[in-house]
Amino acid sequence: MSQPYPGPPGYFPVPPLVLPPVRRYRPLRRVTTAFLVLAVLTLILTAVQAVLMWRSYDEVKRFVYGLLSDDELDRAVASIAGSGPLLNLMWMTFAGAGAVFLIWLWKARENTELLTPSVGVTYQGGQRLGSGRHRLDTGWVIGSWVCPIVQFWYPLQVVEDVVQASEPTDEPKRVKTLLYAWWACWTAFWVIIVGGGSLAFFSIAVWIVRVLDRAEAATESGDYLDLYDLQSFMVGLALTVNIAFTIATVLLAAAGAAVVMLMYRTNAWQDARMSRPTDQPPPGPPQYAPRPEFPSYAQRSPWQR
């Protein structure tokens, strides 16, 4: 049995009005400056590491061919151990720059939704603010970088939509050349680092196995252990690693320069559009007047007089 609704006859309660949260425009100069500082520091550390690798190449060759003395071997081991903190610092600054870039991208995406709002249709048939010119939802701003397979093109779409949504509406300035150059350098950098590094570790493992097999065979047969071809292979692998790391450093520098230019240009476009009265979004949701009390036309009972 249903309970009678409390209240006088003819009264129908109105549910409370829930307003969407107010979004405000946030300038991105400080975030961009922080990214620039971390990116420059990362590039400096990467370039220093590349120089150290080339300087130690001769010692690596002599070590592989067994030509190092005991003192030289001790210095080489100390040099390798000393390069560990430098590599750790390089990857820490690299990760910090990546985190700051994601913060910038998230805020820039929110700013574009204020500059170019659109209307979407929900599953209930109502209307809500959409995401402007963006092809992907907001969650992909971060998820696109870590989700397998789609990470090869989703991040490019996210950044491209943010840049294009920030362009002036009256005179759009296309930056697709700069955008695609950044993505090509960034993708090639990761292919060399991940693919080349995995191939190098696999080659070293295979080299160790082949050396052990030949040593065992030479011990059983009493023959001379010939490792010249394996030593030449190891020297060639060290040279390939140095070349690949140098190319990766150049690609990282090119990608960093391109993305910094994109960030500063996007910031300038957004600031310029916000400074124009026609492009400024409303300060917040509309304020509604309180609902007036409407008279009730239900018949009054005799005891309500």
**CB atoms inside a 10 Å sphere around CB 216:** 11
pTM of full prediction above 0.85: no
The pLDDT value recorded for residue 56 is 80
Give the tens place of pLDDT for each residue, 153-196.
999 999 999 998 888 876 656 678 899 999 999 999 999 998 88
Distance, in Å, from the CA atom of 112 to the CA atom of 118, rounded to the nearest integer, reads 11
Structure tokens at 107: 């805020």
Q: Provide the residue range defining the domain that includes 132.
A: 29-276
Q: Is 296 a member of any domain?
A: no
- The confidence score (pLDDT) of residue 125 equals 38
Relative to beta strand 119-121, strand 127-129 is: antiparallel
Q: Does residue 17 lie within any of the structural domains? A: no
Which pLDDT score, from 0 to 100, does residue 34 have?
96
CA 108 to CA 101: how far, in whole Å? 10
- Token pair 């008279």 is found at 295
How far apart (Å, rounded) are the C-alpha atoms in residues 216 and 210? 10
Q: Considering the domain boundaries, does residue 4 fall inside one?
A: no
CA distances from 181 to 104, 188, 197, 255, 266 (A): 20, 11, 24, 8, 16
Q: Which of 152, 162, 44 is nearest to 102 (CA)?
A: 162
Tokens matching residue 294? 């409407």
For the chain, helix (H) and strand (E) counts, in that order, are 8, 2
In a domain, 243, yes or no: yes
User: What is the pLDDT, as a whole number, of residue 27?
Assistant: 83
Instruction: Tell me the C-alpha distance between 124 and 18, whole Å.
Output: 16
Residues in the chain with pLDDT values less than 70: 1-23, 66-84, 117-132, 170-174, 222, 225-228, 276-305
Q: Are 20 and 216 in contact (CB under 8 A)?
A: no
Q: What is the reported pLDDT for 130?
A: 40
Q: Does any domain span residue 84?
A: yes
Contacts of 56 (CB under 8 A, 6+ apart): 76, 79
Number of domains in the chain: 1
Inter-residue contact 225 to 210 (CB < 8 Å): no
Residue 264 lies in a domain: yes
222 part of a folded domain: yes
For the chain, percent of residues with pLDDT exceeding 90: 30
- Does residue 149 form part of some domain? yes
